[in-house]
Amino acid sequence: MNTYIYGYGPAGKERLIVVDLGVTFPDMDGSPGVDLIMPDIEWLESNADRIEGIFITHAHEDHIGALAHYWPKLRKPIFARKFTGRIGALKLEEAGISANEITVVEPRPHVISLGPFKVQFVPVSHSIPESSALVIDTPAGRLVHTGDFKLDGSPIVGEPFDPVMWHEIAKEGQGIKALTCDSTNIFSPAPGRSEATLAEPLAELIAAQKGMVVATTFASNVARLKTLAEAGRAAGRQICLLGRAMRRMVSAAQETGVLTGFPPVLSPEDAADMPRHKLMLIVTGSQGERRAASAALSRGKYLGLEMKEGDSFLFSSKTIPGNERGVIRIMNAFSEMGVEVIDDHGGLYHVSGHANRPDIEAVHDLLKPRAVIPMHGEHRHLREHMKLAQSKGIASEVATNGTMLDLTDEVPQVVEHIETGRTYLDGSVLIGAMDGVVRDRIRMALNGHVLITVIIDEDDEPLGEAWVELMGLPETGKRGAALADQIEEELAEFLARAPEKVLSNDDKMDDAIRKIARQVTMEEVGKKPEVTVVVSRLIAA
Amino acid sequence: MNTYIYGYGPAGKERLIVVDLGVTFPDMDGSPGVDLIMPDIEWLESNADRIEGIFITHAHEDHIGALAHYWPKLRKPIFARKFTGRIGALKLEEAGISANEITVVEPRPHVISLGPFKVQFVPVSHSIPESSALVIDTPAGRLVHTGDFKLDGSPIVGEPFDPVMWHEIAKEGQGIKALTCDSTNIFSPAPGRSEATLAEPLAELIAAQKGMVVATTFASNVARLKTLAEAGRAAGRQICLLGRAMRRMVSAAQETGVLTGFPPVLSPEDAADMPRHKLMLIVTGSQGERRAASAALSRGKYLGLEMKEGDSFLFSSKTIPGNERGVIRIMNAFSEMGVEVIDDHGGLYHVSGHANRPDIEAVHDLLKPRAVIPMHGEHRHLREHMKLAQSKGIASEVATNGTMLDLTDEVPQVVEHIETGRTYLDGSVLIGAMDGVVRDRIRMALNGHVLITVIIDEDDEPLGEAWVELMGLPETGKRGAALADQIEEELAEFLARAPEKVLSNDDKMDDAIRKIARQVTMEEVGKKPEVTVVVSRLIAA
């Protein structure tokens, strides 16, 4: 959920630009039921009057996913290049916001002047078209924000990384004061490989298959889609794209002219009529997402198409840590169908979109920044990147979420930690990660939920017996009797004996009932459940 | 949750032996709140009179973890070698079962004769002492069950893999009819490496550290614990073991004589008094388990010991797929403390306990079985192993959970699929995976839970208004009002208008109220919650 803010001006009154408004994805472990995780932008919202504009480096969800959700809170001009702008426009329109809020800009040498900032988009190679670094000039010096990037001289779709242009950028004026730099692959020791190296292995692989071939990759990796489609065509196969995200990306890339020469595609209906050995599907869901096309095919027929013994399924992708369970589930489902599952074969059928350690070093050497601020990656990645920079005599500082760095002097200084965190899109509303809503869900999932209702009459006497409902708890306890009955019995005993001062006091009733329910449940089934107590009091007419 | 059954005799009346009774571990995605997952042994239980005995190949939880939970349902003699037997005895005693139920047996040439079976334990190398294959002779021929194994000629602790002995086993009598063989590492293309290769890199690594060194590995990898401890001692450090499972494994290995020469260890109290550069902790929790020592240290002080800037933390282990999130969380917590986190460096500081593909091929070649039944691993591993065997002209069949194979003829035949599944240990009781208990927990975690109580008087008229409690749902909806209030308002309207035939009918009331609650929640917060409705009826005195 990348969101970076640059400021220039007197302390506390800096003019600001926002770079990216990204999301991250929920999981059962920490955020069950949540739809999207976004940065908590409370500080940004309360300083919205100081924002000059919002810049989006590229159209990956972790950089653009929160744009439509947060724009209504910020209402500032958005700047992006054409493909990114097209994806952003689709998001805004879905949220009922005019696509005109986005200004589509040309790359360097075009300069966007905003308050004290002069900003240029500089093409870099990545796993989506038009990924861009930003060169941000301020009266105090030049900053470079790399965005996500790799060093690829032949990225198939989109612009190559251009060392000559970057050399110029580093030489102009006083050079680069600070480089905010991608750290994702800092632990990958070998130089990164070009997207172009995949064409031959993929073509050979697909030519060798006998049945239907299905390949999955990230929907936004338009270059890979093209390589895969061309490999399929070279093997005499017709291409069909499955999955809304993928069709949307290809359309946006074609409409904005960044993708040309993509082979014609079949509709799923027409694909279903093709002989299997003449067909190749390129599908969404490389990360095992339950609703994507890969998962759907692993469960059976999808849009009239079905995997069979002798077919092949290729993961032209890497599993992002945390997604292993979902991916493995799909692999095994295909294996059970007799489908040949092919993974990236140690990189033969997939390359990363991020600069590896030697590439990052090369960028340090090329740009000669006076300071490096590592970004993108977990804390251990940022720390490793900082150590790399420092080992070469470059000032560096790890900035965790909420950190404000002062870049005025040669060595970056941490000047403030802004209270920040995560905001959840939960259904249709935004909630704070610490609001307790999700905590309660996790507790119910771990402990089960006991509901108890008691009616107290006008004289503060129990009317009838307590009623117990269980959800997510074993029906039967150790002694072989129904757990709900056991709790009800204990509560009946309690109610029969409870003194009036307890019966007349809601808090005391709640505490006592809760305690009994937890005790009985612990004894009977060994769990301490969540308990909701409803005491209804009849009021004298 | 490995559990294998071999039978000999007339169809439906075969005498049986059970090999291993293992568990697997729950996760939030599929089994929140569950303590352990065990195989559903209903079939085995209903055929308990046919069981001759239970054999445990080694003391890993996925082979022995269900022993104490299921023994009371089977009550048959247990056979294991001494270290495995010791771990099994501890489990039985904790469950109040006599350790005498376990017969500790010597390895081949010792033979256990049980009904039509003659069984020998044959030492194999693995990542725990005394892992054993079983040679099972029946009147119909010889079967070999490898258990977990690797080809290691110098495993540090325990017996090496002995090709000469295996050559004899293959030559005796009619040779090997069928080989049930470990498939875990079938996708690892290089030959496996010996445990002994780790001694030098680990010693060098630890000698190079300046602060406190903490290493984690699987508690049961006694050989690794010894290598780590010796590397620490060679670097002038005192050793302290943290984590109950680890101390238990080392004690059991020492008591049974399989581990000798382990350096003396400090108590945590004494360790806390040592200078940091003189101390090495070896701790549990290599898989990121929240309650283990690694996770505890990542959260702060644990038993008086605390990680600090300049310390090192070594994962002498591999992350099992599915555990990445927990491991990464710990890595980043240490990174934030300024601790150097060192992973297995591509195998430099860890080797697997399983045979790789070329090792598996070597075993096929050595044992010359007439059939191979792949075991251990997911479906895709079993299938790949089957294909490997078939490619060399060996009959092979994938047997998924519940499959009964007939090995009488030269080619294994699937003859039956026995209804099977998973049983959960949930708190202190066993529940079926399909009982709906865990399904309800997952639903509450995804959707939240609405509790509604309504009181109906003696005349079938609502008494007061409906009361709504929420758990795991946003408090405030789209329109800015409290969600509970909104549902209550809608319910008030419904109750005011509901005809008597609805008010007097519990099912109709329940349906109508549930529908309203879900509708309002959907409109307000975009979620379809779980709903529990309690209609209390006052009965005329």
Q: How far is Cα B252 from Cα B410, in angstroms, rounded to an integer? A: 42
For A124-158, write each residue's pLDDT tens digit: 999 999 999 999 999 999 999 999 999 999 999 99
Number of DSSP helices (H) and strands (E) in chain A, helices first: 17, 26
In a domain, A440, yes or no: no
| Same structural domain, A109 and A18 | yes
Q: Which residue of A has its CA nearest to B428?
A: A526
* B441-472: pLDDT as tens digits: 999 999 999 999 999 998 999 999 999 999 99
H/E stretch holding B176 reads strand B176-182
Phi, psi of B256 (to 5 degrees): -95, 5
Whether the Cβ atoms of residue B149 and residue B162 lie closer than 8 Å to each other: no
Whether residues A12 and A137 fall in one domain: yes
Is there a domain that residue B438 lies in? Answer: no
Whether the upstream peptide bond of residue B109 has omega within 30° of 0, thus cis, is: yes
Among candidates B431, B469, B525 on the partner chain, residue whose Cβ is nearest the Cβ of A532: B469
Of A326, A347, A368, the one marking the end of a domain is: A347
Q: List chain A residues with CB under 8 Å of B331.
A: 378, 380
Structure tokens at A478: 């150790």
The candidate with the shortest Cα–Cα distance to B287, out of B248, B337, B322, is B322
End-of-domain residue from the set A432, A456, A490: A432
Q: Which residues of B touch A435 (CB under 8 A)?
A: 474-475
Q: Which of A378, A427, A475 sits opposite B527 (nearest CB)?
A: A427
Find residues 480-519 of chain A whose CB sits inside 8 Å of chain B: none
Chain B interface includes A379 (CB < 8 A) = yes
- β-bridge partners, A453: A467, A534
Chain A neighbors of B328, CB-CB under 8 A: 321-322, 378
Helix (H) or strand (E) holding A80: strand A78-80
C-alpha gyration radius of chain B: 29
Q: Name, in order, each residue with C-beta under 8 angstroms of B454's C-beta and a sequence gap of 6 or more.
A: B462, B466, B467, B491, B495, B509, B513, B533, B534, B535, B536
Q: What is the pLDDT of residues A210-244, one digit of tens each?
A: 999 999 999 999 999 999 999 999 999 999 999 99
Separation between Cα atoms, residue A368 and residue A371, nearest integer Å: 9
Kindly state the helix (H) or strand (E) to which residue A79 belongs, with its residue range.
strand A78-80
Structure tokens at B499: 């005809």
**Tokens at residue A165, please?**
């242009």
Q: What is the amino acid identity at position B453?
A: T
When pLDDT is cut at 50, 70 and 90, the band that residue A539 belongs to is confident
Residues A305 and A400 in one domain: no
SS3 state at B455: strand
Q: Is residue A57 part of a domain?
A: yes
Q: Are residues B69 and B12 in the same domain?
A: yes
- pLDDT tens per residue, range B405-416: 999 999 999 999
End-to-end CA separation in angstroms for chain A: 57
pLDDT higher than 70, residue B422: yes
Which range marks the domain in which residue B512 is found?
A: 448-537
How far apart are the C-alpha atoms of B16 and B51, rounded to whole Å?
A: 5
Tokens of A466: 């307590």
pLDDT, average across residues B174-181: 98
List pLDDT tens digits, range A275-315: 999 999 999 999 999 999 999 999 999 999 999 999 999 99
Residue A279: both structure tokens together? 């067909």
Could you read off the pLDDT of B73-86 as tens digits, one per residue?
999 999 999 999 99
Question: Residue B440 CB: number of other CB atoms within 10 A?
Answer: 20
CA distance B522 to B516: 10
Residues A130 and A42 placed together within one structural domain of the fold: yes
On whether the CB atoms of residues B479 and B524 are closer than 8 A, the answer is yes
User: Do residue B176 and residue B30 come from a single domain?
Assistant: yes
What element of type H or E holds B390? helix B379-391
B 426-465 residues with CB below 8 A of A?
A: 426-429, 431, 435, 437-438, 440-442, 444-449, 451, 453, 455, 463-464
Three-state secondary-structure class, residue A89: helix
DSSP designation for B392: T
Rounded distance, CA B427 to CA A526, Å? 4
Interface touch A378/B332, C-beta < 8 Å: yes
Q: Is A527 on the interface with B (CB under 8 A)?
A: yes
Instruction: Tell me: do A67 and A161 sit in the same domain.
Output: yes
Under an 8 A CB cutoff, do B28 and A32 touch? yes
Q: Say if the Cβ atoms of B331 and A378 lie within 8 Å.
A: yes
Residue B442 lies in a domain: no
> What pLDDT band is residue A541 in, cutting at 50, 70 and 90?
low
Average pLDDT, chain B: 96
Query: In this model, does residue B98 exceed pLDDT 70?
Result: yes
Q: In B278-368, where does DSSP find H-type helix?
A: 293-299, 324-337, 357-367
On whether the CB atoms of residues B85 and B57 are closer than 8 A, the answer is no
In angstroms, the CA B460 to CA A450 distance is 27
pLDDT above 90 for B539: no
Task: Identify whether A399 is part of a domain.
Answer: yes
Show which of residues 230-249 on chain B sit within 8 Å of chain A, judged by CB atoms.
none
Q: Which two tokens stand for residue A532?
A: 């909701």
N- to C-terminal Cα distance for chain B?
Answer: 57
Among B290, B318, B347, give the residue marking a domain's end.
Answer: B347
- Across the interface, of A29, A380, A440, the residue whose CB is closest to B325 is A29
Which residues from chain B sit within 8 angstroms of residue A338, using beta carbons? 383
Are A9 and A150 within one domain? Answer: yes
Task: Point out the residue among A380, A471, A539 whose CB comes nearest to the CB of B532.
Answer: A471
Structural domain contains residue B440: no
Is residue A180 domain-shared with residue A37, that is, in the same domain?
yes
Q: Nearest CA to CA, how far is B535 from chain A (Å)?
A: 10
Q: Say whether both B255 and B321 belong to one domain.
A: yes
pLDDT at A477: 92
3-state secondary structure of B481: coil
pLDDT per residue as tens digits for the range B291-339: 999 999 999 999 999 999 999 999 999 999 889 999 999 999 999 999 9
- Structure confidence by residue, pLDDT tens digits, B349-393: 999 999 999 999 999 999 999 999 999 999 999 999 999 999 999
In order, the DSSP letters of A516-530 are: HHHHHHHHHHS---E
Residue A251, H or E segment: helix A244-255
Taking CA–CA distances from A323, the nearest residue in chain B reads B322
B141 and B174 Cβ atoms separated by less than 8 Å: yes
Would you list the DSSP string of B426-442? ETTEEEETTSSHHHHHH
* Average pLDDT value for residue range A525-541: 91
CB B286 within 8 Å of CB B111: no
Q: What is the ipTM of this complex?
A: 0.94
For A:318-357, CB contacts with B below 8 A are 321-322, 324-325, 328, 331-332, 334-336, 338, 341
Place of tokens 């005895």: B89
Q: What is the DSSP letter of A307?
A: -
Q: Is residue A442 part of a domain?
A: no
Confidence of residue A113 (pLDDT cuts 50, 70, 90): very high
Cross-chain residue pair A324–B321, CB shorter than 8 Å? yes
Q: Are residues A68 and A52 in the same domain?
A: yes
Q: Quick check: B86 and B128 in contact, CB under 8 A?
A: no
Order across the sheet with B238-242: list the strands: B265-266, B238-242, B279-283, B213-216, B312-315, B340-342
SS3 category, B164 = helix
Question: A65-87: per-residue pLDDT in tens?
Answer: 999 999 999 999 999 999 999 99
Of A32, A464, A539, the CB nearest to B446: A32
Q: B118-129: b or e for each residue (b if 16 or more CB lie within 10 Å)?
A: ebbbbbbbbbbb
pLDDT digits (tens, 9 = 90+) for B510-520: 999 999 999 99
- pLDDT for the residue numbered B202: 98
Q: What is the 3-state secondary structure (H, E, C) of B443-454?
A: HHHHHCEEEEEE
Show residues of chain B in contact with A322, CB under 8 Å: 324-325, 328
Verify whether the Cβ–Cβ distance B474 to A341 is below 8 Å.
Answer: no
Q: What is the mean pLDDT of residues B125-142?
A: 97
Q: How confident is the model at residue A322 (pLDDT cuts 50, 70, 90)?
A: confident
d(CA A512, CA A496): 13
> The CATH number of the domain where B319 resides is what?
3.40.50.10710
We report the CATH number of the domain holding residue B58 as 3.60.15.10
Mean pLDDT of chain A: 96
**CB-CB neighbours of B273 under 10 Å:** 9
Mutate to test the interface with A, among B313, B385, B440 (most CBs of A within 10 A): B440
Chain A CB within 8 Å of residue B469 CB: yes
* Percentage of residues of chain B with pLDDT beyond 90: 97
**Amino acid A154: pLDDT:** 95
pLDDT digits 0-9 by tens, B259-293: 999 999 999 999 999 999 999 999 999 999 999 99
pLDDT attached to residue A346: 86
Task: Assess whether A187 and A203 both reside in one domain.
Answer: no
Can you tell me the distance from the alpha carbon of B54 to that of B102, in angstroms, rounded to the nearest whole number?
9
Number of domains within chain A? 3
pLDDT value for B346: 86
Domain assignment of residue A517, yes or no: yes
Q: Where are the beta strands (DSSP E) in B243-350?
A: 265-266, 279-283, 312-315, 340-342
pLDDT of residue B104 exceeding 80, the answer is yes
Please name the residue of chain B whose CA is at the shortest distance from the CA of residue A464.
B538
- Contact criterion met (CB < 8 Å) for B527 and A33: yes
Using CA atoms, how far apart are residues A152 and A355, in angstroms rounded to an integer?
9
CATH of residue B533: 3.10.20.580
Quick one: which H or E segment has residue B488? Answer: helix B483-497
Residues of B in contact with A335 (CB under 8 A): 378-380, 383
Inspect the interface and report whether the beta carbons of A27 and B467 lie closer than 8 Å. no
For chain A, helix, strand, coil in percent to 5 are 35, 25, 40
Cβ-contact B314, B215 below 8 angstroms: yes
Q: At A164, list the tokens.
A: 């000559």
A interface test, pick of B449, B476, B528, B539 with most A CB neighbours within 10 Å: B449
B95 near A CB under 8 A:
no
Residue numbers in A near B510 (CB within 8 A): none
Residues of B in contact with A471 (CB under 8 A): 440-441, 444, 449, 530, 532
Task: Please tell me the number of Cα atoms within 13 Å of A216 on its side-chain side.
Answer: 28
Residue-wise pLDDT for B198-218, tens only, equals 999 999 999 999 999 999 999
DSSP per residue over A353-383, as a string?
Answer: SS-BHHHHHHHHHHH--SEEEEESS-HHHHH
Nearest to B282 by CA among B208, B199, B220, B193: B220
At residue B266, the pLDDT reads 97
pLDDT digit string, tens, across residues A433-462 = 999 999 999 999 999 999 999 999 999 999
* B504 min Cα distance to partner chain A (Å): 19
The per-residue pLDDT for B541 is: 57
Interface residue B210 vs chain A (CB under 8 A): no
Angle formed at CA A288 by CA A284 and CA A293, multiple of 5 degrees = 35
- Of the candidates B124, B119, B133, B163, the one whose C-alpha atom is nearest the C-alpha of residue B15 is B119
Chain B: give the shortest CA distance to residue A86, in Å: 27
B169–A contact, CB cutoff 8 A: no
- Give me the residues paired with residue A469 across strands: A451
